[in-house]
Amino acid sequence: MFGPESAHSPNADDLNALYWVLLAIAVALALAINGALIWLAMRYRTARGSEPRRLRSRRPAQVLVAGSFGVLALVLFVLGVVFTESASDVEPSGPDGLQASSQLTAQRDLSIPVDTEPLTITASGQQWLWRYEYPDGTYSYYELVVPVDTAVLVELDSTDVVHRWWVPGLGGKFDVVPNQVSRTWFKADTEGVYYGSSYQFSGASYAAMRTEVQVVSPTEYQAWLTQQADDIAAAQDFVQEELAIRGEPGTRSGAASVQPVGGEQ
């Protein structure tokens, strides 16, 4: 209730660990200030007319207060840097994961060890849905299917306005900006469904811009990929046939032809 979603990826572990530190500090500070405030206001409440001593603080006391808050700020800063670096280190896929599944890609913000080969997925935000493209060119809308215990590199990209991608439990949230690639990663430790959403206001149906991550075993993942490719091919054939019947030239192909209603602007 007072914590974030339990972590199911190493980077989410880092985020959650620091969250509990900050929650403890914030609650302690707020309780200390409010407790002192209420106690002082009740203790020194008097009738009008009495003249209290006009106490003034000395400089060393103020410096001591500033110094102790300075130490707190410094400690938090160091913790922040350490955990940001740690959350940006892509871990190699585990033994249960998909092995050697994808080519190694150019590195930007994330530090990817040379011996890991993360599965690279492009998550593309568009008003008002998410489109996922897999290494073999297959794609899916709304749901992202990935193998368990596998390092997944998510390249974030937008076709229209700024969006923000986040699936609680699988790391942090990041901006999705047109013509600009930003990245995040996760390595899910449990098979099942994870829900997420867009977190940047993007117009009329922004609230409906949800997503879901289905984490399955590597074999199920491969089976799903084949099935999805077949479904897409079948849908394209159907569209081509329809177009042929109506006598229109089948100029549109691929992704655009099976895009759901409400897709691109």
Range in contact with other proteins (rule: CB under 8 A) among 66-74, 118-126, 129-137, 244-252: 66-74
Per the structure block, which two tokens stand in for 70? 């300075």
| Residue 23 or 244 with smaller CB distance to other proteins | 23
Q: Are 87 and 129 in contact (CB under 8 A)?
A: no
Nearest distance, CB of residue 106 and other proteins, angstroms? 15
Range in contact with other proteins (rule: CB under 8 A) among 62-70, 97-105, 244-252, 255-263: 62-70
Range in contact with other proteins (rule: CB under 8 A) among 78-86, 93-101, 114-122, 233-241: 78-86
Shortest CA distance to 93 belongs to which of 71, 117, 61, 128? 117
Binding flag, residue 223, other proteins (CB under 8 A): no
Contact string 200-219 vs other proteins (x = CB under 8 A):
xxxxxxxx--x-x-xxx---
Binding flag, residue 227, other proteins (CB under 8 A): no
Nearest distance, CB of residue 254 and other proteins, angstroms? 21
Binding flag, residue 233, other proteins (CB under 8 A): no
Q: Which of 118, 125, 169, 218 binds other proteins (CB under 8 A)?
A: 169
Shortest CA distance to 163 belongs to which of 203, 134, 132? 203
Shortest CA distance to 254 belongs to which of 232, 222, 238? 232
Range in contact with other proteins (rule: CB under 8 A) among 96-104, 176-184, 237-245, 246-254: 176-184
Binding flag, residue 141, other proteins (CB under 8 A): no
139: number of Cβ within 10 Å: 19
Quickly list DSSP for 71-118. Answer: HHHHHHHHHHHHHHHHHHBPPPP-TTS--S-S-----SSSB--TT--P
Residues 6 or more apart in contact with residue 256 via CB below 8 angstroms: 264
Asked whether the CA dihedral 185, 188, 191, 193 is positive or negative, the reply is: negative
Per the structure block, which two tokens stand in for 86? 């740690």
Q: How many residues bind other proteins (CB under 8 A)?
A: 101
Please give the distance of CA 100 from its chain centroid, rounded to a whole number. Answer: 24
Nearest distance, CB of residue 16 and other proteins, angstroms? 7
Nearest distance, CB of residue 129 and other proteins, angstroms? 15
Per the structure block, which two tokens stand in for 190? 């449990």
Binding flag, residue 180, other proteins (CB under 8 A): yes
Range in contact with other proteins (rule: CB under 8 A) among 154-162, 227-235, 238-246, 250-258: 154-162
